[in-house]
Amino acid sequence: MALICPHCKAAEAISYVQNEDGKTLFPCLFCDLPAAPSHTNHTVAVSAPCITGGCAGRVQDTYVYGIRGRLVTAERRPCGFCGSSRTGVRNAASGREHLLPDVRL
């Protein structure tokens, strides 16, 4: 799984591993910045367009940071129009839109 970068707003740019300790986020694949806040006790919400064909909605990721600036939670809210949680890139080179597979998965 991947989240939207809170810095450059790139969709599917923040990879993470989830285990019993919670989510461990990796730096952005595009801007190379960690998903860390500029100050503590902060909530950051970012959104990206939904990738479902014909949908004009947005998918939102919310990052909540604690007192020491450590990530408390990162949650995805699905599109309000179609309910999909998918974001990404469309390829329209063939005249019809196809979803590109995510090479990082």
- State yes or no: pLDDT of 93 exceeds 60: no
Mean pLDDT over 25-32 rounds to 92
What tens digit of pLDDT does each residue of 72-84 get?
888 999 999 999 9
Name the pLDDT band for 71 (thresholds 50, 70, 90): confident
Could you tell me if residue 98 is inside a domain? no
Task: Give residue 37's region: left, alpha or beta (phi > 0; psi -120 to 50).
Answer: beta
Q: Has residue 99 been placed in a domain?
A: no
Residue 103 lies in a domain: no
Counting the structural domains of the chain, the total is 1
Longest dimension (CA), the chain: 50
77 inside domain: yes
In angstroms, the CA 25 to CA 74 distance is 9
Q: Which domain holds residue 9?
A: 2-84
Between CA 35 and CA 7 the distance in angstroms is 8
Dihedral of the CA atoms 11, 12, 15, 20 (nearest 10)?
100
What local confidence, expressed as pLDDT, does residue 36 receive?
A: 75
Residue pair 13/26 in contact by the 8 Å Cβ criterion: no
